[in-house]
Each structure stands twice: as structure tokens, then as C-alpha cells.
Structure 1
């Protein structure tokens, strides 16, 4: 037993019910925070008098605040369980939306994104993954993969809905309606579908292969935290920083805007395929082996772009390979801490890792934009390749040390 329970063993359907509820709340949560500038940037800029650069800077502010708060949030999630804090996170998202709807200038606009940053570790990935781990560490890997697969549709759902609602009632009323959705839909789902207090989890299921360590095993892996922080942050720089510039990168290799948009759109299917692979058969492999595979795919994708990027086939190979790598890496970031540090302190450790990851996520879009503007696509891809190689080395070292501990 990893946690004290206030109500005995959990019913067998607790995990699938939680996955279903969290799918809804994560799609809504991401769609009503991170995706807002992508759709409403022109409206926000005109309504607040701020430039589009500052509007998109709200995401950077959100990520930096989330980075600062992630360790403390991790500790309280491990201590108290996730239900009450995820309810609070949904309420904070609603408060941020109301604040953003009232914004007339930079102060209130910035306050809204600070609130979103405070809500992020409570309402989004950190808490949702922790909730699944606390319910069942032995089945958490597949549950997290399924949740990531389904919530990958957040932009597909959110963007058309935001455009439709904005055309119907205007952007300020759109934000107020979204606030109501978080209060009336997400908060009740968290309250009704997640266990209360510090939940009881059953013993982990038997490992499917020797490479899959029991998630209740707390044997220390030398340097695990440092290597994980380096690998996940560098990998996150690529998976968060490059997509925003995908069209510009492909245009830099000689493709028209129309072709660049069409080829760049293949990243999404690649991510879905990667998460589907994990769902259907990925558990046959250790999660750190999946991480190394993700790093190799990223290197191959970037290499294909450098070698054949001027040809449509090279750009297609890059987009699909990049999507596959990013999809796998998102699973590795969520599941590997369970493999490395165990279930009892899972939230604390992903909170500590979140400091470096969110800082990297926040810096990457602007940093890559500056490189692309000043030096061009080829230099940016060479820089990304160097980052990818460093990420792969860290992942390989981490996997090797974990295997040595497991064998010992």
C-alpha cells in the first residue's frame, strides 16, 4: 500500500471512469488556456491595445509561473491526492478567463496569464497524470498514454469552437462562456470522478518484460534526476519550439506556403500514430527504451530535412518523423518519472522536473524565432539537431543506468 485510504480499496472501474472524465477536462483545460492566443490573437490585440507578440507572450508567462509553482504543487498532490486540487485548478482557469475578458491593457492581461500559470500544474498534465498514478501505478502507463492520445484532439476541437463562438458573441463573451464551462463541467467532473483524499492504490501489476521496473520499487538510480531534467527539457525545447515555426522552416527550404502548410500538418497524424503505438503495444518495451527510440527518430527526422529538405519527400519524412518523436516523448515525460522514482513521490518529482521543462518550453518559441529570423532555416535545423543529439545522449545514459540498477 502506498497511500492511506479513507474509504477502502477502489472499485475496478475507478481508473476507466477517471480517464474518461480527465479526457474531457484536459481537452477543455488546454483549449481554454494554451490555445486561446492561436485563435483569438487578433481579437485580443485589438481589444487590449497590445501587440500580437505580447499576446503570445502570455503563454510564456503562463509557463514560467507554472515552472515556479510545480514543485510545491507536486508535494501537495502527493500529500492530499488530486481531487480537491484539480477542482481548485478548474476554478482558477475560470478566474483567469474572467480576468482576461476584462482586460483593457497590459496589467490585467498579464494578471490573467499569471492565474493561468497557477492553474496549469493543478488542472492540466501534472495533476491528471498524478491522479492516474495514484489510482493504479501498475496500469498508469497505458492510462496516461490513452489520456494523451485523446487529449491530443484538444486543438482540433477547441479551434473551430472558439472561432464559431467568437463570431457569435464576440471574444469577451466567449471567454466568459469558457469560464462557465470550467466551473460547471470540469470542476464537477473532477469532484465526482476522482477519489477523495490520499487514495489507496493496489499493488502494481507484474512487469510485462524485465525492462519494466515495478513502479513501487524505490531503488535509487544514480544521477536520474539530473539526466531526466536535461533529457526532458531538451526534448521539450524541440517539441514545443519547432511546431510554431514549422511553416517558416519549410519555406526556408524552398517550399511554397501552401505546400509548407500541407506538409507541416502531417506532424499531428504522426503524434497520434506514436500514441496509438504506445496504447496498442508499447508496453512490451521499457519506457526508457521508448525514450531512446524517440530521440533517434528526432535525429533521423532532422537529418532528413537537412539532406533532402528541398524535396517534398524529404519534408514529408521530416514532418512525420518529427510527429512520431514528439508523440512518444510526451508519453515518456509523463511515464518515465514513475519508472525512475516510484509512485509514492511521483507528483513531487514531476513537479521538480517541471521547473526545468516549463522554463525550456517557455524559452524555445522565442529563441527559435530569433534564430530563424536572423540566420535562416538551415542554421535553426542544425541547432535543433545539436539539441536533439544532447537529448539522445542523456536518454541513453539514463536508460543504461536504470538497466544496471534493475539487473543488480
Structure 2
């Protein structure tokens, strides 16, 4: 009996120690999610949404036009598109802590520099730098960190938590920037935002750790496996079908996000109504993400997204027809807005389900590049089209067609269900050990 007790004691102690380690890791992961949710909210608020508040005063101080100043944001988005793939490769190889921390420092310094610009070329230089820094600190980088820490079961919940909180960035920072502008003037207001960005995002990103990898996978071997995953994905027609779907629907979202207020004014609504109604898009995007995640538990994520994109087509397509009435306009915005943020979640869901997590950031970067270019150029093209046609009906109709194309392509994107694998919390005896397997598309989609 004594022998049995003495032999059982070490096992009991080991089990207790293992349970404590798993509990500590679980606590860390959700603290990481909370930190990234906050950093994304501040990042998008300062590095994107605040620009529109300071657009006119910046143009006035630099003795130029608002379209010229807007061009700085366009260049910023294009610079972010160029940086997306190399940033993704770095994240896959080295994790997010150093890159996101350095990116936060650089972005804060660049925002500070924005407050001091005296010429148009200085403004453009600063915002091109902001675009590169943004690629290292915003959603794509944050998603890569989350994907590396969570298994299939917890990943959707973690991504949803980050996007729900960050979805309120515009609701928080547009009025905040407006108050600062009224009280301090635009240059001092931007200085305050630079300080807020540095104080919040840098500590959040320094908190990031990289999950320890299995000691049986040398760095060279892991890099080779990532290259195999990327090569298989680039040969897979479903990867490009997914990209086409997101690109088509993204064009409609970007056009509506920029031109909705002007389109509502063109339909006869007041400036106050137009601005208030357009502001619903941010809140509706949060509701849409919640609904998408809930529906995704009962049906394929791609099928749910296809239905959402088709419903969006109805919303934007009906706007020129019934949008002159306030209730009709609100109904169209409600229908369209519920899908406003769905594409943010569908990309990691499909990529991780089909190709695993080893090369997630690289593949996401490949899709991000054309999406960001579209984000920069589609609203400009739509605005020019509306001006030439003296009506917003043609670009709105084109946006509806884009949503339908996105729905059809998304429905055609086959998603392979991710096999149930041990969560990093419970895999192996080491703290945070991950078991990652290479999963390539079927032979018909990706020939050897």
C-alpha cells in the first residue's frame, strides 16, 4: 500500500502542475486577446478614422485642396498593400511581438510628424510611412498572432472578440478627434492622438509572446513546410476564387463606406440624416459579425457568407429605388450594413480551414494586397463615375453587381472542415506546445 501511495504521488503532482500550466496559458491567451482588441481599436481610430476629421484643416494649413490631402491617404493604403506580403512572411517566421512593437513605435512617431508637416510632400511622406506601419500593427498582424495561439475551437471566438471591440473604433475616435479639434486645433489634437497611440499600443504589443514550437521541428524544416503550404495554395483554384469573392464584395463595401453620405444627400436627405444613417454601418458591422459567427456554427462559413453578400446586393441595389424615403433608406442601410464586417472574419476562417496555420499570415498578405489596392482606388473611380453621370445610381448598381459576383464566387469556394486537433493548451506536456500538420488541397485542386 505504501508503494502504491508513493508511486501515485509524483503522478498526482505532475497532473496538478500540468493543470496549473494550462490554466496560466489560458489566462495569458485571453489577456492577449483583450490587449489586441484595445490596440486595434486605438490603431484604427488614430491611423485611419481620424484622418477624415483633420482633412479640411490640414488642407487649409498647407494651402492646398482636400483632394490633394486625400491623396495622401490613398498613397498610405497603397504602401500598406505593398508591405502586406513581406509583413506576412515575417509574422509566419518570427511571430508578432517585435514587428508589432516596432510598428507601434514607428506609427506613433509618424503621427507626431503629421502634426508638424508644413508642405504637401512632407504630408505624403508621413502617410506612406503610416501605411507601411499599419500593415505591421493592424488586423492582419493581430489575426496572425491569434491564429498562432488558438486551435480551431477557440479561434473564431477570439477573432470575434477582437473585431467586435475594434468595430467601435469609428464611434469612439471620430467624435473624440472632433472634440480635440474644436478645443486644441488640429496640430495639437494630432499630438494628443500620437501620445494616446504610443501609450496604449506599444505595451499591448510588447505583451505578445510566440507559442513554443515542438523541439522536433527545426526552423529550417518549418520554413520548408511553410513554402510547401504557400505553393499548394497558390496552385489551388479555390484560393483565387476566395480572393475574387472578397475583392468583388470589398469593392462594394469600400465604395459604400466612402460615398454613402453623398449618395443619401443626392437622394434628397439632409446632411444630418445622411451622416447619422451612414454612421450606423459601424454598429451594424458588429451585429453582422455576431450573427455570422452564430450562423457559422450551424452551416458552412462560405455558404453563410454567400447568403450575406447576396443580401447586401439587394440592399445597395434597392437604395436608388426606395432610398428617397427615410424608412426605405434606413432599410437598405440595415440590410447592407449587416454584412459590412463579415469579410473580416471569413478570410481567417477559410484560410485556416483549408491550409492550416503555418503560412496563414503569408497567404493572408497575398489576399490583402489586391484588397487594399481596391480599397484605395475603388471609391475614387466610383466618385468620378458619379460625377460624370450626374447621379450615384450607376456606381450603386455596380456595387450591387459586385456583391452578387462575390456571393457566387464564395458559394463556389469549397471549404475543407478543419480536423479536430489538440488545442495548444492541451497538446503535449510542454507549456504551449503546438502540433501543426501540413494540409494541402485535394489532388484535383492542387496537383503534386
Smaller-chain TM-score range? Answer: 0.7 to 0.9
Please tell me whether residue 64 in structure 1 is matched to residue 104 in structure 2: no
Are the aligned partners of 1:295 and 1:388 in contact in 2 as well (CA < 8 Å)?
yes
Pairwise CA distance, 1:42 = 1.8
Unaligned runs of 5+ in 1: 1-7, 202-215
What residue is the counterpart of 1:323 in the other structure?
Answer: 337
Please tell me whether residue 379 in structure 1 is matched to residue 390 in structure 2: no
- SS of the residue aligned with 2:239? helix
Q: How does 1:1-400 map to 2 (within 5 A)?
A: 11-138=25-152, 139-192=154-207, 194-196=208-210, 199-200=212-213, 222-280=236-294, 282-375=296-389, 376-399=391-414
- SS of the residue aligned with 1:104? coil
Alpha-carbon spacing, 1:381–1:166, altered in 2? closer, same or farther (3 Å) = closer
Measure the CA separation in 2 of the matches of 1:178 and 1:248.
28
Alpha-carbon spacing, 1:123–1:311, altered in 2? closer, same or farther (3 Å) = same
Alpha-carbon spacing, 1:401–1:142, altered in 2? closer, same or farther (3 Å) = closer
Measure the CA separation in 2 of the matches of 1:283 and 1:34.
32
Q: What TM-score does the superposition give when structure 1 sets the normalisation length?
A: 0.86
Q: After alignment, is 254-263 or 159-168 more displaced? A: 254-263
Q: After alignment, is 120-129 or 134-143 more displaced? A: 134-143
Are the aligned partners of 2:167 and 2:283 in contact in 1 as well (CA < 8 Å)?
no
Measure the CA separation in 1 of the matches of 2:313 and 2:442.
28
Measure the CA separation in 1 of the matches of 2:343 and 2:79.
23
Q: After alignment, is 292-301 or 350-359 more displaced? A: 292-301
Q: After alignment, is 160-169 or 344-353 more displaced? A: 160-169
What residue is the counterpart of 1:207 in the other structure?
Answer: none
Q: What TM-score does the superposition give when structure 2 sets the normalisation length?
A: 0.79
Measure the CA separation in 2 of the matches of 1:125 and 1:349.
14
Pairwise CA distance, 1:345 = 0.6
Measure the CA separation in 2 of the matches of 1:382 and 1:401.
34
Measure the CA separation in 2 of the matches of 1:150 and 1:284.
24
Measure the CA separation in 1 of the matches of 2:135 and 2:89.
12
Are the aligned partners of 1:142 and 1:283 in contact in 2 as well (CA < 8 Å)?
no
Aligned length in residues: 384
Alignment RMSD: 2.7
Alpha-carbon spacing, 1:307–1:177, altered in 2? closer, same or farther (3 Å) = closer
Unaligned runs of 5+ in 2: 1-20, 215-228, 419-440
What residue is the counterpart of 2:12 in the other structure?
Answer: none
Pairwise CA distance, 1:148 = 0.8
Are the aligned partners of 2:314 and 2:400 in contact in 1 as well (CA < 8 Å)?
no
Alpha-carbon spacing, 1:318–1:388, altered in 2? closer, same or farther (3 Å) = same
Query: What does the per-residue CA deviation read over 1:86-136, in whole Å, with 9 as the maximum and x for residues that have no partner?
Result: 101101211211221121111110111111111111110110111110111
Are the aligned partners of 2:285 and 2:342 in contact in 1 as well (CA < 8 Å)?
yes
